Structure 1
Amino acid sequence: MKASVEYFNGDDLAANVWVNKYALKDSYGNIYERTPDDMHRRIAAEIARVETRYPEPLSEEEVYAVLKDFKYIVPQGSPMAGIGNPFQISSLSNCFVIGSGADSYGGIAKADEEQVQLMKRRGGVGQDLSHLRPKGSPVMNSALSSTGIVPFMERYSNSTREVAQDGRRGALMLTVSSRHPDAEGFIDAKLEQGKVTGANVSVRIDDAFMKAAIEGKPYQQQYPVDSPNPDFRKDVDAQKLWKKIIQNAWKSAEPGVLFWDTIIRESVPDCYADLGYRTISTNPCGEIPLCPYDSCRLLAINLYSYVENPFTPEAKFDFEKFGQHVQMAQRIMDDIIDLEIEKIDRILEKIEKDPEAEDIKATEYELWKKIRKTCVQGRRTGVGITAEGDMLASLGLRYGSDEAISFSVDVHRTLAVNAYRSSAIMAKERGAFPVFDAERESDNPFINRLREADPALYEEMLAHGRRNIALLTIAPTGTTSLMTQTASGIEPAFLITYKRRRKVNPNDKEANVTFIDEVGDHWEEYNVFHHKFLVWLEANGYDVEKVRRMPSEELDPIIEQSPYHLATANDVDWVQKVKMQGAIQKWVDHSISVTVNIPEETSVEMVQKIYETAWKEGCKGCTIYRDGSRSGVLVSDKEKKTGAANEFQETMPPKRPEVLEAAVVRFKNNAEDWIAVIGLYANRPYEIFTGKSEDIFIIPGYVTKGWVMKNTDDEGHNRYDLQFEDKQGYRVTIEGLSRSFDKEYWNYAKLISGVLRHGMPIPYVVDLVEGLNVEEDYINTWKNGVVRALKQFVPDGTKAAESACPSCNDADGLIYKEGCLICKSCGYSECG
């Protein structure tokens, strides 16, 4: 770790990512590489080994030179961790799509198994659910009718959560066609807290739907969705369904949208649809639309490194070097396909040797045979980029401006032409992908765009074919960008600065004490900057260490002088960003993973404008994230116009008095009688204890209030006692509220007490508790008893944190009243 921190010039976050995710290690956690330089040597040696199979091979030193220091070419994720790794039998593919098209319980269960088999080999998985019959359809078994697609979304989601991959959870994309009769249920599925938490979801929207939604016309849903003679049809209000998609995305950042006709129309592999390359879904982040049982590996080119004299008037982009490296990157990606085939062969060999019965191993074995076949026949690659935002800033271009969009298009056109040229050269030297047929591709818009940009390239493809069926993508590059120390993928820089704290010695004369906490510890707050902003500071003569300690009022004017001003994730013109995505998409044969970040106060109408602009501009998909619509993300250090800090606040709970007033609430946990004791601070829940009434909770039925006293036992441990008054007015004490706690319930109670003490609004605590996954999740469970107890403390008229009204679908209709949820629009009541 120490050596890696030194390698990254003190960047402990980048070092942590590399050590934990990508350093070569065995199954016992032993690490065999000291720094990323060892990793780059490992990868270069393997690429060079494959190169010797072909004419004019690249040397190990040539490959190492472009990998070194993450400067130019960066294999992403699975290739970085898996190339040359003898300790783990895993795939080099980042993403897969599965789908037999079987509409049966056997087919559903088989897809579930295929999904987890791929995830355990480090791959993300996508699958489409449009082939499953809609809810209410007759079935020839004891169920009599189908449950529809939504229950199976939860099944696949739960399976994903179960699969651990060396610290990274499985990743899943679920999609459905807008033509499917269950599309609305799919769109709403993630609004229920605790459900479908292991999957991203996106709707495959066709042009007919978009036109009907914009024009206010009806839209036909049917099953089967692609049949010219469907068994079932119904007309829906496209505009209403579109607004639901927009509302849900505004509220929870999902579903994403995939503009399916654009995807299919532009897709080069779909020229071979009848040979098995019909696109059905995407990988979890949406940048690779894939056919069933195909896979892709990812590699990023660091655009920032091609800028000479960055952040100066002499800054310029080296298109010649860039073009050469793109051709080399495509060649390296093709070598990685050979390495992947070797990996798949090792997986198949392992399965064959496994001691399990043949029928148990059959699904996994046949799965990898299918993937191998599709990989060999298509040789699909995923060459992409990272640091687009830093490249533009270093050239003095503001992200999202017309000038910046135009320049980015030039860069991506250059990338596309050179990648395809490299693939054509390799076809001549190594052979074309086996199913290549120029006539099939003659009307493809993307291929014809290349033809217009470089006629000689097109002629070369006609003469020799192409090595790879499709080549390009732009992935998120999350952890990759931490190691390149740049903005991620096509995105702008997320933040220019945020604050960190470190404890300091108050006796140190050099210490800069920002504040003293409630226990007397001294802390210093300091600014942490986006890496390339530091380069700008140095290039413009600023003392970086001095700037690190500046308060916001001094720092902001400096940021305003930089090319990053109004060019970060929450600052860019959102519609312009979508236009930029659409313009670049024309030179990316797969797709682009991009998120439009918008402030919390952004209207639903603006989200609708963003999505509709994305469709009109030729984007293949779109995802928005509204600040605050999901928890757990990095937010800015700026202040909102209201003056409230737009950042995570480190809060301290009010110090607990020795005695708290308490409410006593009874509930059922299955057939058992349980009691909740809720300690109140300023008439607000502060802590909660629960237990069985027949154990130590011998509390008469008339007791509804009392006091919780915090004491210390002889061993120095905290102990909480309950006092209440009996009918004669005497105080009765029950010692040790925690003694009868089941361990699981005790841990949940501590979690709930923690968020209560730190001031989370009660409706959100209720939402949190309802989302907990506990065993025996029926109406009378402990979890729901706690929910009922807490709801009593939600003030009447408080807007619910849950979803829209299930009766009238009013997104703002549900409010609390006397502990019950009611709809102020239609009168719906859900008393709990």
Structure 2
Amino acid sequence: AFMAAVEANGMYDLLHPKTRQVTGQLHAREVWERIIHGAWKTGEPGVFFVDKANHYNPVPHLGEYEATNPCGEQPLLPYDVCNLGSINLGAFVRDGEDGKDGKEIDWNDLRRVIHLSTHFLENVIDANQYPLPEITELAQRIRRIGLGVMGLADLFVKLGVPYDSEEGVALGGKIQQFVDEEARIESERLASERGVFPEWERSIWGPDETAARDAAGERIRPMRRLRNCNVTTVAPTGTISIIAGCSSGIEPLFAVAFMRNQAGSLMPDVNEDFVGIARAEGWYSEELMRKIAETGHIDFPEVPAKWQRVFVTANGIKPEWHIRMQAAFQEYNDSAISKTCNFANDATEEYVEEIYRLAYRLNCKGVTVYRDGSREMQVLSTGSTAKKVQEGHAGKESVAATADLHGEIAELRTENERLQRIVHDLESENLQRRQKRSRPEVLRGTTRRVETPLGTLYVTITEDDRGQPFEVFMTLGKAGGALMADVESLGRLISLALRSGIPIKEIYRQLRGISSDRVIGLGPNKILSVPDAVGIAIERWMQEKQGIQQELLPQPGRGGPQGIAGQTEVAPMVAQPTHTGESGEQMVLGGMQQTLSGACPDCGSQLEFAEGCMKCHVCGFSECG
């Protein structure tokens, strides 16, 4: 209804999610233009075509989809769950006579693994222990699973097929059709042994007499006796693909090569398939590999044109091909796809709108975009974005003298704030040399309320007469027993550290980013655990006391972070120096940082925005868990 109103330049109804009554109207084109502007400016919001998702809802009599998870691949009903798993497609390329370049897909082995994986995910439904009885009941009634894939880019490379080609899109669709059909065949076999899922008769798979139908009274799916209402999903594989050593999801290659900082030495890390091909064809050299790693591309005369075409990376692919590949997989997918469509920095809002409309026309259930350089915390170094930013600043020759004065004032303010931080740090270091401070009779403090995955947390930070933090007291809602004991012990240890001279900034760094199996909030408001919530409370206290200025990550060869003139907004988290990380390892990409955004909270390396999530290629951190 919304997209039809966009096309007609008309109004659309706002429906109450419970009563389905019309509560108001908005002009569709105005809302659409705001969506497009936001996506162009920041990459958010993604779009979820809820009507298309609901058209293929396997059990519409149990409810409608209202939204999807942030990564976009799994629409769910209230209290619904889905067990996800992914198959590494690159592992099924074998030497053969009929395939490209002497290689072919082992379809029989892939079929065997699809059946095993479907059986495994079906068993997980019964093995799981769910947190609420409503979840347990619905999981047992519809038995939804989501078998997906990863390593598609690796498979294309091994077969010598370019990602952004008609052949690549056709092969992607063929693979997903095979996965979808074989998973369903196994689900039918399981149904013959264990019975169909309890809601089968009224589902879109049920018999003609009782099956759910569309508005025109037509069947949505042919009748099939299935054990599971859904069997396929293409979910994010940021972490598991790193464990498996393959490319993520159905995304193209992130990079052919990068420089990895290992124990203080920069070492080239080049795609293994690329190295293998170079050795086999006789054009491998250490010097070439280093040049590729340092520059981030393979546009060198030593690399044959054929392989330059095959080893195309995410930012070298036009947005249309991203969407066409997503649509090819969506055609044979029960749920949806987690995928990012990459744009160059100079892409216009009209181009973004064109891609959103293309996704709708090709029957994608949603779309996520990312324009190079569209987020403030993106690393600016040797990539095309950094060059354009530098050229943009250099080209402003007509700036008036007043602007120069404003710039000088901003620099002086920044320097003043820097000196204030130095003074504060020196005071903290001075406190470190002392023994545990005795507690005064009276202390003043402030209490902050923070929502956590386990309830509302109240954090009180007291200060001495010099304004230095002294103690921390915490109460977690109405929690009692072991949970409250844990919270109290955490407060006591923090207080002991503060009274012993440990800087509060160090305590903050230890707490912030600790994750757990329960998370609340989205984006910058995401809280990963109770310790993370304490870190947030401390962070707010530090912002209030001295200010934490948002900074860009250090640019290679530029001598440190470059400030943004006039920027005063406090960042939700201080960017960690790129040399940190317990393993002493990070990624430094040359020329391939267009998809990077911010620092990893675990190891300090750069994050990539792909499959709708921020993820780290070094340590495996993923915003989506």
For the aligned pair, the TM-score class normalised by the smaller chain equals: 0.5 to 0.7
Q: 1:603 to 1:746 in 2, by over 3 A?
A: closer
How much identity, in percent, do the aligned residues show? 25
Distance in 2 (alpha carbons) for counterparts of 1:553 and 1:486: 19
TM-score, L = length of structure 2: 0.61
What secondary structure, in the 3-state scheme, does the structure 1 residue paired with 2:11 have?
strand
Structure 2 residues not aligned, in runs of 5+: 392-407, 433-464, 470-503, 505-540, 554-559, 575-625
Q: For the Cα contact (< 8 Å) 2:257–2:297, is it kept in 1?
A: no
Q: 1:527 to 1:711 in 2, by over 3 A?
A: closer
Instruction: Give the partner amino acid of 2:565.
Output: I
Q: For the Cα contact (< 8 Å) 2:345–2:385, is it kept in 1?
A: no
Q: For the Cα contact (< 8 Å) 2:236–2:249, is it kept in 1?
A: yes
What secondary structure, in the 3-state scheme, does the structure 1 residue paired with 2:375 have?
coil
Kindly indicate whether residue 229 of structure 2 is the aligned counterpart of residue 469 of structure 1.
yes
Map of 1:6-45 to 2, 5 A cutoff?
A: none
Q: For the Cα contact (< 8 Å) 1:385–1:489, is it kept in 2?
A: yes
Structure 1 residue corresponding to 2:134, chosen from 367, 370, 373: 370
Q: 1:746 to 1:478 in 2, by over 3 A?
A: closer
Map of 1:198-209 to 2, 5 A cutoff?
A: 208-209=1-2
Kindly indicate whether residue 477 of structure 2 is the aligned counterpart of residue 685 of structure 1.
no
Distance in 1 (alpha carbons) for counterparts of 2:430 and 2:367: 56
Kindly indicate whether residue 191 of structure 2 is the aligned counterpart of residue 427 of structure 1.
yes
* Partner residue, 2:563: 760
Q: 1:428 to 1:754 in 2, by over 3 A?
A: closer
Kindly indicate whether residue 132 of structure 2 is the aligned counterpart of residue 335 of structure 1.
no
Q: 1:568 to 1:480 in 2, by over 3 A?
A: same
Q: 1:387 to 1:772 in 2, by over 3 A?
A: closer
Structure 2 residue corresponding to 1:298, chosen from 84, 88, 95: 84
Instruction: Give the partner amino acid of 2:299.
Output: D
Q: 1:530 to 1:686 in 2, by over 3 A?
A: farther
Structure 1 residue corresponding to 2:69, chosen from 261, 277, 283: 283
1:641 shift after superposition: 9.4
Deviations 1:176-229 (A, max 9, x none): xxxxxxxxxxxxxxxxxxxxxxxxxxxxxxxx22122233x2213234268675
Q: For the Cα contact (< 8 Å) 2:89–2:155, is it kept in 1?
A: yes
* Partner residue, 1:500: 260
Kindly indicate whether residue 181 of structure 2 is the aligned counterpart of residue 384 of structure 1.
no
* Partner residue, 1:416: 180
What secondary structure, in the 3-state scheme, does the structure 1 residue paired with 2:81 have?
strand
Instruction: Give the partner amino acid of 1:406.
Output: A
What secondary structure, in the 3-state scheme, does the structure 2 residue paired with 1:300 have?
strand
* Partner residue, 1:491: 251
Deviations 1:62-115 (A, max 9, x none): xxxxxxxxxxxxxxxxxxxxxxxxxxxxxxxxxxxxxxxxxxxxxxxxxxxxxx
Kindly indicate whether residue 1 of structure 2 is the aligned counterpart of residue 212 of structure 1.
no
Q: 1:414 to 1:474 in 2, by over 3 A?
A: same
Q: Paired residues, what number?
A: 436
**Of 593-602 and 616-625, the range deviating more from structure 2:** 593-602
Distance in 1 (alpha carbons) for counterparts of 2:122 and 2:200: 16
Distance in 1 (alpha carbons) for counterparts of 2:119 and 2:266: 47
Kindly indicate whether residue 9 of structure 2 is the aligned counterpart of residue 252 of structure 1.
no
* Partner residue, 2:351: 606
Q: 1:710 to 1:611 in 2, by over 3 A?
A: closer
Q: For the Cα contact (< 8 Å) 1:566–1:572, is it kept in 2?
A: no
Map of 1:771-786 to 2, 5 A cutoff?
A: none
1:536 shift after superposition: 3.5
Instruction: Give the partner amino acid of 2:414.
Output: P
1:629 shift after superposition: 2.1
Instruction: Give the partner amino acid of 2:144.
Output: R
* Partner residue, 1:401: 165
Q: For the Cα contact (< 8 Å) 2:548–2:570, is it kept in 1?
A: no
Deviations 1:281-336 (A, max 9, x none): 32331211111111111110111111114997102111222122211211111111
What secondary structure, in the 3-state scheme, does the structure 2 residue paired with 1:281 have?
coil
Structure 1 residue corresponding to 2:299, chosen from 556, 569, 573: 556
Q: 1:214 to 1:740 in 2, by over 3 A?
A: same
Distance in 1 (alpha carbons) for counterparts of 2:316 and 2:126: 43
Instruction: Give the partner amino acid of 1:222.
Output: L
Distance in 2 (alpha carbons) for counterparts of 1:419 and 1:586: 15
1:501 shift after superposition: 4.0
Distance in 1 (alpha carbons) for counterparts of 2:24 and 2:410: 57
Distance in 2 (alpha carbons) for counterparts of 1:375 and 1:436: 13
Q: 1:717 to 1:382 in 2, by over 3 A?
A: same
Distance in 1 (alpha carbons) for counterparts of 2:383 and 2:419: 41
Q: 1:544 to 1:298 in 2, by over 3 A?
A: farther
TM-score, L = length of structure 1: 0.47
Instruction: Give the partner amino acid of 1:240.
Output: E
1:430 shift after superposition: 1.6
Q: 1:392 to 1:716 in 2, by over 3 A?
A: same
Q: 1:689 to 1:745 in 2, by over 3 A?
A: farther
Distance in 2 (alpha carbons) for counterparts of 1:419 and 1:753: 48
Q: 1:314 to 1:636 in 2, by over 3 A?
A: farther
CA RMSD of aligned residues (A): 4.0
1:388 shift after superposition: 1.3
1:588 shift after superposition: 0.3
* Partner residue, 2:593: none
Instruction: Give the partner amino acid of 1:301.
Output: I
Distance in 2 (alpha carbons) for counterparts of 1:645 and 1:390: 35
Map of 1:142-161 to 2, 5 A cutoff?
A: none
What secondary structure, in the 3-state scheme, does the structure 1 residue paired with 2:570 have?
helix
Q: For the Cα contact (< 8 Å) 1:486–1:531, is it kept in 2?
A: no
1:590 shift after superposition: 0.7
Distance in 1 (alpha carbons) for counterparts of 2:288 and 2:143: 50
Q: 1:772 to 1:426 in 2, by over 3 A?
A: closer
What secondary structure, in the 3-state scheme, does the structure 2 residue paired with 1:293 have?
coil
Q: For the Cα contact (< 8 Å) 1:304–1:390, is it kept in 2?
A: yes
Q: 1:682 to 1:291 in 2, by over 3 A?
A: closer
Distance in 1 (alpha carbons) for counterparts of 2:415 and 2:304: 42
Q: For the Cα contact (< 8 Å) 2:59–2:212, is it kept in 1?
A: no
Distance in 1 (alpha carbons) for counterparts of 2:81 and 2:352: 32
Q: For the Cα contact (< 8 Å) 1:312–1:539, is it kept in 2?
A: no
Instruction: Give the partner amino acid of 1:552.
Output: T
Distance in 1 (alpha carbons) for counterparts of 2:123 and 2:358: 39
Instruction: Give the partner amino acid of 2:160.
Output: G
Distance in 2 (alpha carbons) for counterparts of 1:376 and 1:416: 22
Q: For the Cα contact (< 8 Å) 1:690–1:749, is it kept in 2?
A: no
Instruction: Give the partner amino acid of 1:251.
Output: K
* Partner residue, 1:533: 274
Distance in 2 (alpha carbons) for counterparts of 1:583 and 1:279: 23
Distance in 2 (alpha carbons) for counterparts of 1:385 and 1:227: 38
Distance in 2 (alpha carbons) for counterparts of 1:753 and 1:237: 37
1:560 shift after superposition: 5.4
1:593 shift after superposition: 0.7
Q: For the Cα contact (< 8 Å) 1:680–1:687, is it kept in 2?
A: no
What secondary structure, in the 3-state scheme, does the structure 2 residue paired with 1:622 have?
strand
**Of 627-636 and 285-294, the range deviating more from structure 2:** 627-636
Kindly indicate whether residue 66 of structure 2 is the aligned counterpart of residue 325 of structure 1.
no
Q: 1:710 to 1:333 in 2, by over 3 A?
A: closer
